[in-house]
Structure 1
Amino acid sequence: MQNPENPAAESKTSFSQSLLAWFDTYGRKNLPWKQNPTLYRIWVSEIMLQQTQVATVIPYYQRFIHRFPNLPSLANASVDEVLGLWTGLGYYARARNLHRAAQLAWRNYGNELPHTLEAFIELPGIGRSTAGAILALALGQRHPILDGNVKRVLVRQQAINIWPGHPQIKKQLWQQAEDLLPVTRIADYTQAIMDLGAIICTRHRPSCLYCPVKETCQAYIQGSPNNYPQPRPRKSLPLRTTVMLMLLNSQKEVLLERRPPTGIWGGLWSFPECPTQTEPTSWCQETFNCTIENIQMWPLVRHSFTHFTLEIHPIVAQIDQKREQIMESEGRIWYKGVEVMNQLGLPAPILRLLEQLYKE
């Protein structure tokens, strides 16, 4: 029934009803984490989906859940096992936070995940939107979300011509997201608005003709949906340079070192890094008490992070001593081929260099 005394409320109800009707026909209901959507399975999927597309996540999720089907199995795993199954998915802080959160929840919440927004936000790697999505999708709790897809939908609904990351705009979007929540079917609505952004209201060339809420979309009404949302103000990314040594012993094993727990690729395995102004031969002599020979300089590799670009200068060299000259330790191993790809956490550029090395 229409409510002429409160057109704003009627519009909000129409939005959620139209979206749910669309979801019933076109929504993504067969995603693997939607089958038996426990709190644990939804939590794992939402962490993996941060800044990563569904199609990319699915095979990683399936392998991860097969190995770690519940909270205790994840909490009691080693960080190397977790990072190994994350190799190639990127944003590795997510994996470290997931592992740490599992340990904290297992210890502090009676061997299960918490059931309140406030407690979830206290776990590592979980903000308001992720916590809200997890509790809405798994338990039907009434919380708004504001991930990238939802932001894009809401910005176009209001034709907001300011970058949505601006604090004032973000506050406005949170309020809008909360106002649009229906009273019932919270889990379906939450999935529906995420699906709308991923399938219809895409960043480029949105399929507006098929959108269930186009009648209220100011960007569509203006005929300019591609103008929204406004991009983040551009900044030139600084360039960092490093020299990575791919040191091979007589058994054709390559030396890997564990990176520090914080910073880029924290806790992952990589090649030893030689200071850019230091000659590699003397650095190896001083650092490992060994000499190197058959030195080859490979083409540089560029890898982009959010805040800078990394320029890697790979150098392959042979160690003329026996394997035992450089002993394995907690932070140093000898690695052969791709035999333990899923047992060690390896950054994507390092994995590609290893694959190239063992094709030679």
Structure 2
Amino acid sequence: MVYSASENRYATMPYRLLGRTGLKLPAISLGLWHNFGDDKPLQTQRDILWAAFDAGVTHFDLANNYGPPEGSAEKNFGRIFAEDFAPYREELVISTKAGYRMQPGPYGEWGSRKYLLGSLDASLTRMGLDHVDIFYSHRPDPDTPMEETLGALDHAVRAGKAIYAGISSYTAEQTVQAVRVLGELGTPVVIHQPSYSLLNRWVEDGEPALLDVLGDEGVGSIAFSPLAQGMLTDKYLDGVPNDSRAAAGKSLNPDWLTPETLKHVRALNEMAGQRGQSLAQLAIAWVLRDQGPRTITSALIGASSVDQLHDSLAALDNLTFSDEELNGIDRHAVEAGINIWGMAR
């Protein structure tokens, strides 16, 4: 079957300006962290990507090590892109990252210029692209000077291999430094990708808080793991299913599913029902809620099926919260100790 994108693909998706750029991102973007490796059927991946683009999801987010095995998500995406999406390249925002472990040895992770630029070249080869729209430093490196890490992003942009530069999981203080360094180089930080959810609110805390820094500096934001690795779905309300991430030990530690946390999750689920939403829809809508200059640009979701994708997209039907609802949610939107990306090593 030859793919032809829906003529109505831009009819319902809201798009938000990314910081001080002219680039708009869909309110919901699709991440290929899970479900796009060699352990998943290629046709299922294809169906999800088709359905996403037909619904106005123009941003596909990858990283060099997404799989399993590492690199396979980019390889599979590249095959589907070549067969189905090449005619729509200028309608897509494709991003990738480097920073986490990709291969053994001293040059296979973190933030050296050698690793980042070599990784980007390999990512472009796997995806069959001559450039990505956004290239990220996936995490800060405590052992590499930030000037080297960010200088690699600047080089990637100047070489035409990326259009924009971004950072992920940098603290507020590190973000201020990154904005300064890249600003002096002439390649601004345009986007930050932090983890953020009802159970992981670190971006709101501190003096200054990361969300305040992003608002003040005009940097856009895309929140990953808005469903707290699946905790903010109905999957774990009554225990740990055998086919779940927690049971398989994939990015969700079953030890996080404490009785106290599950009590809060069940209360949030009840609030979602009162709004006519699923728990997942409430969680995504809450991340995207209006916070003035602190508003998140896009929520980055995953999907294992077309049905799950559509359920998540339905969060856009109601992004408005009353003060009473927000106050009630605040009583149960508590830290659950799941910000594993906040650790330096």
TM over 0.5: no
Scaled by the length of structure 2, the TM-score of the pair is 0.24
Scaled by the length of structure 1, the TM-score of the pair is 0.23
**Larger CA Rg, structure 1 vs 2:** 1
